[in-house]
């Protein structure tokens, strides 16, 4: 799914809520289908499983995950920046540990 998002990522507006919903729906729909095929080994009950389990689960996931991500992203933007003292201390530890940027 990550490969598919990477291909589509260049041609769609990434910050649009619709893009997030559609990509999440696709991933949430493909995962149970692949799992069903791997676990069962046959396709005899796949249409019933897709209609009764995979589609409702993918629909709820596609609606709730982007909304939860957006609400969490609002809280992340309010974090204060690191102070000069903290940055100086990090640089000193990097020198001691031999870490190069």
Domains in the chain: boundaries: 2-97
pTM for this model (two decimals): 0.62
Average pLDDT over residues 12-20: 76
Mean pLDDT of 72-85: 66
| pLDDT exceeds 60 at position 79 | no
Which residues does 100 contact at the CB level (< 8 Å), separation at least 6? 94
DSSP string, 31-82: HHHHHHHHHH-S-TTHHHHIIIIIHHHHHHHHHHHHHHHHHHHHHHTTPPPP
**Does 68 score more than 90 pLDDT?**
no
Q: What was the pLDDT predicted at 15?
A: 72
State the chain's mean pLDDT as an integer.
81
């Amino acid at each position: 799914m990550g490969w598919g998002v990477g291909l589509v990522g260049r041609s769609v507006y990434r910050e649009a809520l619709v893009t997030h919903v559609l990509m999440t729906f696709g991933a949430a729909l493909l995962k149970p289908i692949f799992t069903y095929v791997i676990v069962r080994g046959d396709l005899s009950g796949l249409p019933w499983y897709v209609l009764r389990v995979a589609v409702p689960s993918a629909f709820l996931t596609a609606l709730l995950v982007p909304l939860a991500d957006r609400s969490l992203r609002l809280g992340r933007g309010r974090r204060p920046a690191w102070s000069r003292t903290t940055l100086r201390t990090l640089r000193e530890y990097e020198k001691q540990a031999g870490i190069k940027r």
